[in-house]
Structure 1
Amino acid sequence: MNNEILIYPTYFPSISHYIAMIAAESVTFEVEDTFQKQTNRNRMYIYSPNGIQMLNISVKHNDANNNFKDIKIDNQYNWQKNHFKSLEAAYKNSPFYEYFIDDLQPIFEKKHEFMLDLNFEIFERINDALGIFIPFDKTTEYFHKVSDKTDFRYLVNGKKDNTQIEPYTQVFENKHGFINNLSILDLLFNEGRYAVDYLKQQRLNFLI
């Protein structure tokens, strides 16, 4: 496998995204693609008291220009307040919620115009929380297939991401069991900076 990878910047990336990125020698983010609905570009999955919960951000569509880098967030919906309350309900009793939430809360207070800008700020804040630095490049042109990098862009589509990870302790697992490959927030709030060691121990053989 080529350790130079191509991947999407997503909304609070899935654990599989971070397994791929933390093992890579270089990371390039795809920013020249067209926006596709029902992907992790603008959604994440968390472990709520009722089981798996999807948190989705509404975006404004422009039929004339559907490039993801030009997609704007529909801020008329108070998604920030709703998402923050959902995270609190899901993780307030997790071991590391109080330790990290103050550093993450500004994400839910600042009004971003573009979805892509929000995703990049999240990437930086999550890396800070994990105590890691992942240098990256951005694409300047879109290619359907690439030969010089391992293509992990399919991970943006949860239906195509068949990652199976080793169980770790989750807040509500006594009610619903272990839920696989949620947002990196689930791992962060439950494992803290031990999450980095966990990510490094996961194997990439599930990736094509």
Structure 2
Amino acid sequence: MLPSDMTPPALPPPPGPLLTELHYFPCQAFFAALLRAEGELIIEAHETFQKQTYRNRCYIQGANQVLLLTVPVEKARKHVSIKDVRIDTTQRWRAQHWRAVQSAYGKSPFFEFFADEFERVFAKEWEWLYELNRFVLTQCLNLLGLSARITETEHWHADAKGVWDLRSAFQPGQTSSWRHFYQPVVYPQLFGEEFAENLSVLDLLCCEGPHALSLLKQSIRYRN
């Protein structure tokens, strides 16, 4: 504790508005980065779609293991724009994902508080992945109680200036890209003997409810 006549040291300034892509039920590091950027988010709207990324997948804690939920997309030409990625509506992914979420978190402390809002995501027949992810982001921000100022890129710039460029920094199974700004705070999870870090924000919301935002704030590492 600091003496009463001393002011706390100033935190480092934010590294700039967060520039990154949309994700499907983003991982917790995504929201820690957004908090570090003081709620300034620029969505990369002109990238090409990349397979096997958080753009169409998320991870939740199942009874026996961490579960992967993937939004199926139609096959398309190479280098397709993210806004042109169609969801494969011939597959019953919405029902499957909703059942998986219910099974994983139905007995969690705060599932009932959020269930109706979660279900809204799976109740609609989505055509475009970008629109789905934009809606999911809005839902997650609202449930966290996190205010954000969101804009989209107007063009693709490989070397963006004046922003905190974390495009493609969040990759499944990789931690090196976010360890410098995010250190997960351990919280009680429903399953598993070891803590599963950086799962989808779904896990944090269902397990911690109104305390989720506070835990995200505690997880930020203020080192530039």
TM-score above 0.5: yes
Equivalent residue, structure 2, for 1:181: 198
What is the identity, as a one-letter code, of the residue corresponding to 1:180?
A: E
Please tell me whether residue 14 in structure 1 is matched to residue 27 in structure 2. yes
1:82 CA displacement:
0.4
The percentage of aligned residue pairs carrying the same residue is 31
Gaps of 5+ in 2: 1-13
Structure 2 length-normalised TM: 0.86
Distance 1:108 1:148 in 2: 37
For these two proteins, the number of residue pairs brought into alignment is: 205
Structure 1 or 2: larger helix share? Answer: 1
Judged with a 3 Å threshold, the aligned counterparts in structure 2 of structure 1 residues 80 and 147 are, in CA distance, closer, same or farther, namely: same
- Which residues of 2 match residues 48-197 of structure 1 at below 5 A? 48-63=62-77, 66-162=80-176, 163=179, 164-173=183-192, 176-197=193-214
Please tell me whether residue 47 in structure 1 is matched to residue 64 in structure 2. no
1:161 CA displacement:
3.6
Given that 1:20 and 1:204 are in contact with CA atoms closer than 8 Å, whether structure 2 keeps it comes out as: no
Please tell me whether residue 203 in structure 1 is matched to residue 220 in structure 2. yes
What is the identity, as a one-letter code, of the residue corresponding to 2:28?
A: I
1:7 CA displacement:
1.3
Moved over 3 A (4+): 159-164
Given that 2:185 and 2:218 are in contact with CA atoms closer than 8 Å, whether structure 1 keeps it comes out as: no
Distance 1:189 1:167 in 2: 14
What is the identity, as a one-letter code, of the residue corresponding to 2:211?
A: Y
1:65 CA displacement:
6.0
- Which residues of 2 match residues 17-28 of structure 1 at below 5 A? 17-25=30-38, 26-28=40-42
Instruction: Spell out, residue by residue over 1:150-199, the C-alpha distance to the aligned partner (whole angstroms, 9 max, x if none).
Output: 111133322444344121110013xx311010000000000002111111
What is the identity, as a one-letter code, of the residue corresponding to 1:171?
A: L
Task: Give the alignment's Cα RMSD to 1 decimal.
Answer: 1.7
- Structure possessing the higher radius of gyration over alpha carbons: 2
Gaps of 5+ in 1: none
